[in-house]
Amino acid sequence: MESEEGRVFVAREWIDGEPLRRLIEKGIAVSPACAVHIVLGVLAALEEAHAPRRGPDPTLRGTSQGSLAARRQRATVPGMIVVTNRMSVAEAHRIDFEDRFRKRAHLVDRAPGFIRNEVHRPKPVKFDHETGRFVEDPSSPGFYEVKTWWRSMADFEAWTRSPEFAEAHANRPPKEMFTGPSKLEVHEVFLSTDDDKETAPGESP
């Protein structure tokens, strides 16, 4: 990227997860959808790197054309779903629960139609009207949420019937890890901010 003063700099986006090189070294295959996203992101970055030099675009300050192109590939696909498993984890088992996901075998990552996985740690808060701020709420236990994004409901259902699904769920956690039953929810993505970013600032939709 280039500043208004003509100084070249690099902008990086830091996210949780393992580097692609480390996954390759471990022999872990990525899903076809993930591979396509990676290739398109690389191609977009190469295209930007070899494009004719031009003046900075003030509407894209803090971003890059390459990252914008990569975001376009994550735009909403008709039929895309998010599967959420809400679980109430006992306080004494939270470290073990999180370690299970950190050390997972990544079998779902290879499933056709799989897009991504996120595990959300509960952070119970409530709004304090006296101070006008959010404060911790110890009275609320909160729930962990395990979310997976899929290209379609059919892809998710195919995963649940696969041998890899059975293998991924073979090592079940102890019952005392949870304080109650889990709840599975499925939502269809009909709108996303990624859709708004499909068109670069200054471009016609």
Instruction: Annotate 162-175 with b (16+ C-beta within 10 A) or e (fewer).
Output: beeeeebeeeeeee
Segments making up each domain of the chain, as ranges: 1-76+193-205, 81-188
pTM > 0.85: yes or no? no
pLDDT at 105: 81
pLDDT in tens, 96-105: 999 999 998 8
Of the listed ranges 3-7, 106-110, 191-195, the least confidently predicted one is 3-7
pLDDT surpassing 90 at residue 112: yes
Residue 177: per-residue pLDDT: 96
CATH class of 81-188: alpha beta
Mean pLDDT for 179-183 is 94
Q: Is the pLDDT of residue 54 over 50?
A: no
pLDDT tens-digit profile of 190-199? Answer: 988 877 665 5
> What is the pLDDT at residue 31?
63
pLDDT in tens, 11-24: 554 445 556 666 66
CA angle 120, 68, 82 (to 5 degrees): 30
Q: Residue 94 and residue 116: Cα distance in Å, rounded?
A: 22
Please name the residues in contact with 184: beta carbons below 8 A apart, sequence gap of 6 or more.
83, 84, 85, 86
